[in-house]
Amino acid sequence: MISKQIFSPTLLLDGQKCKANIIRMLDKAKANNISLRPHFKTHQSAKVGEWFKEQGIHKAAVSSMKMAKYFAKNGWGDLLLAFPFNIHEAPAANELNNLMTLNILLVSAEIIPVLEKTLEKPLNVFVEIDTGYERTGIDVNDLEAIDLILNEISDSEKLIFKGFQIHNGHTYLKGKDIIEKIHLKSLQQLKTLKERYIKQFPHLIISLGDTPACSVSNNFEGVDEIRPGNFVFYDLVQWQTGSCSIEDIAVALAAPIVFKNEKKNTVTVHGGAVHLSKDFYVGEEGEKVFGLPVELMGDTWSEPIAGGAVIALSQEHGTVKLPKEWISKFNIGDFIGILPAHSCLASQLQPYFITTAAEQFEIMPK
């Protein structure tokens, strides 16, 4: 049993579910004649990365230069740093660009003169386009700004324009219908953008990445590659939006019970914000749900315990509400599983996974 080899809060990984999630997304990409560049910020593990390689995937996206170095060291030769480029990391970009194919992300023309001076050899760049998320990127309707950055890239001897990158983060925390509506609107905007620039850049790539749309939609007209990340594990937020089933969630925090309050029908676990983050989804009655409890069973876990929920988190403590009949089933010292609201942050907060095959998988050192 897994619980026999753990002693403190530990993230469990169901390898079969994870591999099934990878294959399902890859099959969708193949069916739409597009490529899959998975975002590795969710799992951050070289061992999980190998499962992608087994399916013939040899390019990925990362969210930091440190992550790029980690996966380059572990044999990944084509990485997109899918975060607005930090000019202070130009020396690191030079180092990686000499070893493998590095792609960076630009959101304005302002840093291009700096790159011209600091880059040692030509570097691939994507331009981020904002289609409504309003986080970073050039507004899809701001053609003047897009023209400016593309002209400056074209005039540069150090930058090679590869295409447009889009992340529709506003599909999160929505229902299927809204996800599809946002996605289809984005596709139309990207089609217009591609038609405007395809003659100037005949090989330009449209790279789109958000797990909800990539999971829900079957329409990727005009897109060349997709970059979902969270799909590898999924989580409760994705489940609530309809992006996955509860059975697709491939990680659960094993947390030891340290206190029982039978009057309130709660148990306290060693498993708090430093293990799960404070992300949550909103339940049916408007309450914050930080996770759902499951029973650990041999080398797997059960469906969520009906009526149970993680209702509060502090730094190390988690308060789990349970139905009265379940309180007596657990003793202090027992481990209970918790499906996370946000698997990306739960992974970020752990040093390793224990798989359901009882293997230990390192997560990128922090």
The DSSP annotation for 119-185 comes to -SS-EEEEEEEESS--SSSEETT-HHHHHHHHHHHHH-SSEEEEEEEE--GGGTT--HHHHHHHHHH
pTM for the predicted model, two decimal places = 0.96
* Residue 35 and residue 225 in contact, taking contact as beta carbons nearer than 8 Å: yes
Burial (CB < 10 A; 0-12, 13-18, 19+), residue 317, is middle
Three-class secondary structure assignment of 273-318 = HHHHCCCCEECCCCCEECEEEEEEECCEEEEECCCCEEEEECCCEE
Measured CA to CA, the distance from residue 57 to residue 109 in angstroms comes to 32
Query: Could you report the per-residue pLDDT of 266-300, keeping only the tens digit for each?
Result: 999 999 999 999 999 999 889 999 999 999 988 88
Q: Which CATH superfamily is domain 2-10+245-362 in?
A: D-serine dehydratase-like domain (2.40.37.20)
Query: What are the average pLDDT values for consecutive 10-residue runs of the chain, which has 366 residues?
Result: 76 97 98 98 97 98 98 98 96 96 97 95 97 94 97 96 95 89 96 96 96 96 97 97 97 97 97 96 92 92 97 98 95 96 93 89 89
* Residue 25 and residue 228 in contact, taking contact as beta carbons nearer than 8 Å: yes
Q: Which two tokens stand for residue 287?
A: 């309450």
Q: In which residue ranges of the chain is CATH 3.20.20.10 found?
A: 15-232
The number of beta carbons lying within 10 Å of the beta carbon of residue 262 is 10
Q: Which two tokens stand for residue 315?
A: 């730094």
* Residue 127 and residue 165 in contact, taking contact as beta carbons nearer than 8 Å: yes
Q: 15-232 maps to which CATH number?
A: 3.20.20.10
Burial (CB < 10 A; 0-12, 13-18, 19+), residue 288, is middle
Helix, strand, or coil (residue 194): helix
**Structure-token match 């560049």, residue found:** 37
Q: In which residue ranges of the chain is CATH 2.40.37.20 found?
A: 2-10+245-362
Query: Could you report the per-residue pLDDT of 74-102, keeping only the tens digit for each?
Result: 999 999 999 999 999 999 999 999 999 99
pLDDT reported for residue 2: 58
Three-class secondary structure assignment of 99-128 = CCEEEEEECCCCCHHHHHHHCCCCEEEEEE
